């Protein structure tokens, strides 16, 4: 059968940077400098900047994403944001980012709840998975990532989550802001492990349709190495996503990959 081509995605995670006063202008600048055919662009600003970025991107083919979503529909959760609250502000959301796991002690079970709330609300989720240095050095990187994936998707209907556009972002935590670098081969091997993991929990051929992004200190200088790997479908960009020059370079390279893929027919 002919299978759909996986999209090429570049998602910008601004983390705890920008304010409502400057976020809109930055979003407009990035949008204007990253118009590349075939590349899905997403900007994920802080919650307080969602409205400003949404308004700034009106008329642009750039989606707005949240950086997190709560695992409950509503309730006594001071400072948190539910999926329903994001209606009209965002159409994507990051779930399970390594910094949320580290700083907020988010468990795989909690992340599973967030995924479900996101999908129920019509948000397209980017599920983050990845290992720390000690896990990698112990030879348990793939096992941990596959376990994270299985726990987060436990009981999830593959057809529903596939239709919702589930994206997986592989974050090698050991390569984020540490000076150590993951290689394209490292990322490709983990992308294949992720798809094997999806098949193992019942996704079958749908596993081949799930985009896998690389998210470990991505820059315009290194993105080419990762996008040269057929199993990598884009990037979740951190610090570089605040720099228009960097984003222009990253998305330009993603555009080359998108155009190359557009000439291919995926058959299984």
Q: Which residues make Cβ contacts (< 8 Å) with residue 47, sequence separation at least 6?
A: 66, 67, 81
Q: Does residue 79 register a pLDDT over 80? A: yes
pTM of this prediction? 0.95
**What is the per-residue pLDDT for 264?**
60
- Given the candidates 2.60.40.1250, 2.120.10.30, 3.20.20.70, 3.50.50.60, the CATH classification of the domain at 2-267 is 3.20.20.70
36, 70, 97, 131: the catalytic one is: 97
Q: In which band, very low, low, confident or very high, does the pLDDT at 99 lie, cut at 50, 70 and 90?
A: very high
**What is the per-residue pLDDT for 4?**
63
Q: In which band, very low, low, confident or very high, does the pLDDT at 72 lie, cut at 50, 70 and 90?
A: very high
**Residue pLDDT, tens place only, 122-145:** 999 999 999 998 999 999 999 999
**Has 142 been annotated as catalytic?**
no
Q: Which residues make Cβ contacts (< 8 Å) with residue 153, sequence separation at least 6?
A: 112, 115, 127, 161, 198, 201
Q: Does residue 45 register a pLDDT over 60? A: yes
**Residue pLDDT, tens place only, 175-231:** 877 777 789 999 999 999 999 999 999 999 999 999 999 998 899 999 999 999 999
**What is the per-residue pLDDT for 3?**
53
Q: In which band, very low, low, confident or very high, does the pLDDT at 263 lie, cut at 50, 70 and 90?
A: confident
Structure tokens at 244: 């228009």
All structural domains of the chain with their residue ranges: 2-267
**What is the per-residue pLDDT for 14?**
98
How many residues does this entry show for the chain? 268
Q: Which whole number is the average pLDDT over 145-168?
A: 96
Give dist(CA 39, CA 251) in Å, integer.
7
Q: In which band, very low, low, confident or very high, does the pLDDT at 174 lie, cut at 50, 70 and 90?
A: confident
**What is the per-residue pLDDT for 268?**
38
36, 131, 171, 229: the catalytic one is: 171
Structure tokens at 202: 């019942």
**Residue pLDDT, tens place only, 55-68:** 999 999 999 999 99
Give dist(CA 58, CA 31) in Å, integer.
10
Q: Does residue 34 register a pLDDT over 90? A: yes
**Has 71 been annotated as catalytic?**
no
Q: Which whole number is the average pLDDT over 81-94?
A: 98
Instruction: Look over the chain and give the mean of its residue pLDDT values, rounded to a whole number.
Output: 94
């Amino acid at each position: 059968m002919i299978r759909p081509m996986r999209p090429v995605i570049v998602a910008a995670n601004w983390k705890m940077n920008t304010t409502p006063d400057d976020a809109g202008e930055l979003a407009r600048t990035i949008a204007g400098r990253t118009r590349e055919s075939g590349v899905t662009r997403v900007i994920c600003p802080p919650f307080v900047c969602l409205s400003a970025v949404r308004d700034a991107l009106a008329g642009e083919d750039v989606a707005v994403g949240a950086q997190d979503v709560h695992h409950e529909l509503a309730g006594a959760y001071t400072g948190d944001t539910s999926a329903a609250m994001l209606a009209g502000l965002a159409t994507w959301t990051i779930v399970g980012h390594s910094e949320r796991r580290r700083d907020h002690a988010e468990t795989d079970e909690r992340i599973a709840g967030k995924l479900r709330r996101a999908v129920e609300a019509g948000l397209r989720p980017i599920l983050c998975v990845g290992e720390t240095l000690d896990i990698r050095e112990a030879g348990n990187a793939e096992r941990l990532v596959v376990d994270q994936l299985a726990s987060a998707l436990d009981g999830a209907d593959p057809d529903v989550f596939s239709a919702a556009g589930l994206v997986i972002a592989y974050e090698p935590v050991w390569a984020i802001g540490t000076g150590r670098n993951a290689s394209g081969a490292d990322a490709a091997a983990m992308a294949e492990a992720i798809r094997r993991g999806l098949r193992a929990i019942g996704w079958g051929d749908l596993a081949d349709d799930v985009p896998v992004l690389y998210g470990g200190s991505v820059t315009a200088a290194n993105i080419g190495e990762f996008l040269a790997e057929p199993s990598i479908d884009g990037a979740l960009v951190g610090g570089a996503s605040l720099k228009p020059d960097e984003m222009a370079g990253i998305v330009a390279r993603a555009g080359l990959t998108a155009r190359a893929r557009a000439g291919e027919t995926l058959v299984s």
